[in-house]
Amino acid sequence: MIRKLTAEDRKLYMEMAHEFYHSDAVLHPVPDAFFERTADEALQSGQYAEIFVFEYEDRPAGYGLIAKSYSQEAGGAVWWIEEVYIREEFRSKGLGREFFQYLEEYMPPEVRRLRLEVEEDNVRAASLYRRLGYEVLGYVQMIKDIK
């Protein structure tokens, strides 16, 4: 089951985000304070981020995080699928596919693009994304962190 994060899920989300950022799926960990900020945004307004909890047989199995933006290139709103984390024991049970299906049913019509990034070595996730119709965009992303 996929559902939106509630205030009662905050501690669970923090725990799972910490697990995710200490896994091979990311390039480097981030401070736990960043998870707190993200949870605050998702719970307070949802304007920039939404978090979804994955459950399998009534047990917390993972989460998904989307960030919202606008793209002239896409001609409208874009949802960045920032994170998809499924705990090891719940992988290969269809939760990833269920999440992507949920998003496509949940998103409003003004969303013109779903976008995600995947760590190059995360072959398993990239394979799922390709099967779901995602393709390589071809841009090199660059960032500048503002401290």
pLDDT at 53 over 90: yes
Domains and CATH numbers, the chain: 2-131 (3.40.630.30)
- C-alpha–C-alpha distance, residues 42 and 124, integer Å: 28
| pTM of the predicted model as reported, rounded to 2 decimal places | 0.91
One-letter amino acid for residue 32 of the chain? D
Are 80 and 69 spatial neighbours (Cβ–Cβ below 8 Å)?
A: yes
pLDDT at 140: 86
Which residues does residue 50 pair with via DSSP β-bridges, in sequence order?
66
Question: pLDDT-derived band of residue 82, with 50, 70 and 90 as boundaries?
Answer: very high
Query: pLDDT of 92-143, one tens digit each?
Result: 999 999 999 999 999 999 999 999 998 888 888 999 999 999 999 988 888 8
Are 37 and 78 spatial neighbours (Cβ–Cβ below 8 Å)?
A: no
pLDDT at 55 over 90: yes
